Structure 1
């Protein structure tokens, strides 16, 4: 039973931390609040309750300011209800004491009420009444009304976006991007998120109603108190007005200041929206992320300091502080370097020139993108680390470390990839926006900056983060700038990954094999094949994105090929691929469970086979220009048709021409895998989706 109650009250941890005794303490607290509405309480107990109301409102505000995301304070709607009931109960209790014992003196409703009344009024009833009215108006007209509207709009948009988010989770699950436990967790978070914003929409009405009731109770206390003082206590009009107005304003302050704090906390939580991270960090990062606004603010403050009639010191101080912040930000962006990189290795001096090794992979950023690499979140280094792990899992090869550095010659929001100091890709980002990638020709229009997705050339649009949910509900794919850059880098790396497998890396792979495989390595290298020859075999596999994780099978296949007197690297690779048939077939099998293929017709097979010239171990394709152009045109038509039908096909050929067909497709960058018939595993389900 205790476990059941604990699960029910799990979302109310802030309350359980404050109230000892868990569920029993919470129940007694609510009963105490309701009992105040009916039963009179002594002034010392009233002072304790008012102090608790103050501290609880301050605690709620501080928790709201330190949230990473709104759902971390999922008990806020319940707290808003409980604190509203507490304030209303205390209002009723103080009103009872003011009306029944107000003639006894300023401490009739307790010392807390008396202290706040005398502090605000300062001996002047009119000034105190005006200031109290202003506080009441600020809470009622500005904060509670704004919070209520934000909560209403947020609830509406989150509920409208739920079907799209649910479909996105199902799509990720179907594609294998996430597993079933992750999908259940994301569905639970989605349900909790929609429930939270719906509850906040309703709870904001409590806060607004609290402000209205405070105004009504204040008027009742003033006019009712005057009537009681004049008719029952036979006080003079001046004495009755001063006494009951002081008590009423003190009572109003004691209730309105906590209400103001709680209303502010509710407004902060609902206005935080989808912003992740603590609010103070996000505000500092976003307000100070751009140098130009800070410089313009500094110049404007300096200009105002020089105008005649305006005080110089305040505006000059603001100008100096803004200028210092702009300069510090400028220096930080220029000097920010991330050390998730290959270290510069220098040989011993020995009176010789010191040279540094080439950066195998380098990402160069314009100064406007340095926040992605060196900011508080450091999105880019973290995503590159995940990319390296993913490549190691997918292809069995660990990508060398990636250096990230600034480049003052680039435009502020541009980036460039360099592989072994040679440019291999470039693009542009918008740091404070999201990239929405169009789902097709029927996509709705989104307000934003039209562009082209840099990795695959798809039509896209840079949008503000507030439009992300709307874009997802319309089936647009929405990604952040760091993900855009990392995806582009992943594709560039995969296209050139064979170049990264050096002689030294091949030696490391062989040395890291388990002890039981070392005998095979010793028998194979260098007597049967050299390390360089094995390096070339692995490079050709990686060039076609064939994983080399199964090194024992690859080494056994190489040994078999060499024992069959196969000499050329291409023929050895062809034999290795047949031994990896199950792996190749599995990697090309789609979500539907079958391997979609486009078949090369027998006519083209014969034409290509007849065009092969040279020795058996080193055949070359000598196909005429007209025939080659005809073959390419036919390939594009058939493969594009299959892709438009939702398939990701492989081109199926005979073993004799597979390598040469791949060479043709690789040169025109069609990015279609080419497999031989012997590389299709016997258990694979094959579906022909086209014929060339």
Structure 2
């Protein structure tokens, strides 16, 4: 049954178009003409009501096409009625149908001269006022809509990048923007239909009058007076029958293009905006003052003033009742005995707390400069980390000094500083002149620890000329936030973010996701693995190779530490490729076999089972490697420390803050085809410079020759400490 109705609906429009063509060509009886005239009036009223009840113009996006078909229907009826009037008009008023006869007799009293004047007035209203205004509004709306289209698209992309909307919402908003542009462009052209229809009505009326005179006097032997009475009356009635629906459609077109998007229909929108008591009191006072003038008709002005005063009084009482109705909720919200979950918990992962002296940085009346920069930081972090970073929260804190801010991650403070919101921070990043003349309050850049000065905004150009980097207080906070969170991407990755990643991959590689989730790995397990990769500096912006490596690893084990080692081994080319191309030699640092064995077989963490490095040894390794990196220079390829798989995570954690530029790899993660260059063996030097590396206390392993010489070049073998 539904299929049958669907087929009927699909055939309705072609059948209607064929009917319009038939009306123009095939003669129809007067009764059918009456039916089509009534249908035309009903259709025009329905279109006007649909335009008034739409909440926004796009709710009636088919209006241009409906306007076209309604105009064609009216023109077809004009052709059909013209044929009937000219053929049978000599027989009397009923020859063209009861509708035309009624319009000619009732609306103009049978006087065709009055009808001509009424028709002319309707044409002036339709063409000069309504149609011309609607056409101008459509033209301007189309122009501004097309001009704003790139900005709207960029705003959608920015909201998507900032995580304010998801991909489905962004797709829907893009579709709405494109539909809006098409709609106003179509309305600009559709307004020409109404104008052309009005011109056609004038021409058709002229043809009917002239042809009626000629046919009445020449073909039917009527006198000029009889021909005018019969034919001109019918022609004017026919024109009025067509002009009333045309005026309704012109009003509908003007309504739809002048609408502003609102949650209410046009009646509710206008009524709600005229429901203010302050609107009607001045009206009542002014009408009363005019009515008190002796020459004015008090019988009209004073009742109108009384009605305006009555509206003011009733609207005022309704506003008072509404205020009283809203008061209990306000009192309940202010009840000190009422405690909500929001009062005792913070559901935001990242929070920026501001002293009261910095609150104006998030004031919407001043443009919220800090909010815009924080949104940019969130977008930048999302692009760098490979997932949508959760939204941040900015709030004021009475615990902080006026100009101090604090950054919390999971409720724990990870950084903060004091800024001067009305001044500029001039940072000496190493490019400032040693003999500069800048004067200001000395401080330190909270993000990178560079020496800086707080200066007056008027000295900004001078500071730039002196080689300083100048930023305002909002930029200082945003940069510090970016730097702190960029060091902890794993802390911002949760199950919800991982679920979004999996759903995104599922749309393109559903089989890949099904191999790992929900079996054999749960969402929590995948989250833990990805967080471990982020902690090791492996980005997840390209999840396909990571999930593929994870899918191969789960074929061997589901144990967490082993999974990470297998995934990293599979991703070895990608990890090494970030610091060294496959054709360049990778600088390699290794540990002496005894030192490496001491770390592997030494103390272990009772919880994780990983080796634990003594603090002095960790400090010595970090300072030694940091010194090597410094000696190589800023433009050199950073070295990689190659160790046994069991020692990789321990040494990576030890060097993360002491020598962050050093890449720590296990021997299984080094690509087979990667050329290497061993630049140092720590612990095996004859005369080790300070700081000293403690001598090993555990014998070296006996299988240190495994995989020796791989990728080292002709005649060069890897040191024994590089073996697995």
Q: In which range does the TM-score fall when normalised by the shorter chain?
A: 0.5 to 0.7
Partner of 1:650: 481
Q: 1:645 to 1:232 in 2, by over 3 A?
A: farther
Unaligned runs of 5+ in 1: 7-15, 346-355, 362-384, 398-422, 428-434, 438-450, 460-486, 499-541, 549-572, 578-583, 586-598, 602-626, 654-678
Distance in structure 2 (CA, Å) of the matches to 1:211 and 1:229: 27
Superposed CA RMSD: 4.7
Partner of 1:81: 68
Partner of 2:535: 682
- On the 8 A contact 1:121/1:129 being kept in 2, the answer is no
Alignment of 1:327-406 (within 5 A): 327-333=313-319, 336=323, 338=326, 341=329, 343-344=331-332, 357-358=335-336, 393-395=347-349
Q: 1:309 to 1:117 in 2, by over 3 A?
A: same
Distance in structure 2 (CA, Å) of the matches to 1:259 and 1:65: 17
Distance in structure 1 (CA, Å) of the matches to 2:297 and 2:358: 54
The answer to whether 1:640 aligns with 2:471 is: yes
Aligned to 2:95, the other structure's residue is in SS state coil
The answer to whether 1:61 aligns with 2:15 is: no
Alignment of 1:146-185 (within 5 A): 146-185=133-172
Q: 1:680 to 1:309 in 2, by over 3 A?
A: farther
Match of 2:283 among 297, 304, 320: 297
Partner of 2:195: 208
Measured against aligned partners, the alpha-carbon deviations of 1:142-193 in whole angstroms (never above 9, x if no partner) come to: 1111111111111111111101111111111122221111111111111111
Distance in structure 1 (CA, Å) of the matches to 2:8 and 2:399: 61
Partner of 2:366: 452
Partner of 1:187: 174
Alignment of 1:504-653 (within 5 A): 544-547=407-410, 630-631=443-444, 640=471, 644=475, 648-650=479-481
Distance in structure 2 (CA, Å) of the matches to 1:193 and 1:452: 31
The answer to whether 1:241 aligns with 2:228 is: yes
- On the 8 A contact 1:643/1:649 being kept in 2, the answer is no
TM-superposed CA distance for 1:82, in Å, is: 0.2
Match of 2:127 among 140, 159, 164: 140
TM-superposed CA distance for 1:21, in Å, is: 2.4
TM-superposed CA distance for 1:210, in Å, is: 0.4
Measured against aligned partners, the alpha-carbon deviations of 1:275-299 in whole angstroms (never above 9, x if no partner) come to: 553111221222334x444222211
Partner of 1:532: none
The answer to whether 1:106 aligns with 2:20 is: no
Partner of 2:208: 221
Distance in structure 1 (CA, Å) of the matches to 2:359 and 2:328: 20
Aligned to 1:177, the other structure's residue is in SS state coil
Partner of 1:414: none
Distance in structure 2 (CA, Å) of the matches to 1:86 and 1:30: 9
- On the 8 A contact 2:332/2:338 being kept in 1, the answer is no
Partner of 1:26: 13
Match of 2:301 among 302, 312, 315: 315
Q: 1:83 to 1:685 in 2, by over 3 A?
A: same
Distance in structure 2 (CA, Å) of the matches to 1:298 and 1:131: 35
TM-superposed CA distance for 1:323, in Å, is: 2.4
Partner of 1:257: 244
Distance in structure 2 (CA, Å) of the matches to 1:684 and 1:635: 30
Distance in structure 2 (CA, Å) of the matches to 1:395 and 1:183: 24
Q: Which structure has the larger Rg over C-alpha atoms?
A: 2
Partner of 2:311: 325
Distance in structure 1 (CA, Å) of the matches to 2:245 and 2:221: 35
Partner of 2:219: 232
Which 10-residue stretch deviates more, 99-108 or 633-642? 633-642
- On the 8 A contact 1:642/1:648 being kept in 2, the answer is no
TM-superposed CA distance for 1:40, in Å, is: 1.1
The answer to whether 1:271 aligns with 2:258 is: yes
TM-superposed CA distance for 1:255, in Å, is: 0.6
- State the number of aligned residues: 427
Distance in structure 2 (CA, Å) of the matches to 1:242 and 1:642: 86
TM-score scaled to structure 1, two decimals? 0.54
Distance in structure 1 (CA, Å) of the matches to 2:477 and 2:336: 42
Measured against aligned partners, the alpha-carbon deviations of 1:456-504 in whole angstroms (never above 9, x if no partner) come to: 5999xxxxxxxxxxxxxxxxxxxxxxxxxxx99x744x64699xxxxxx
The answer to whether 1:45 aligns with 2:32 is: yes
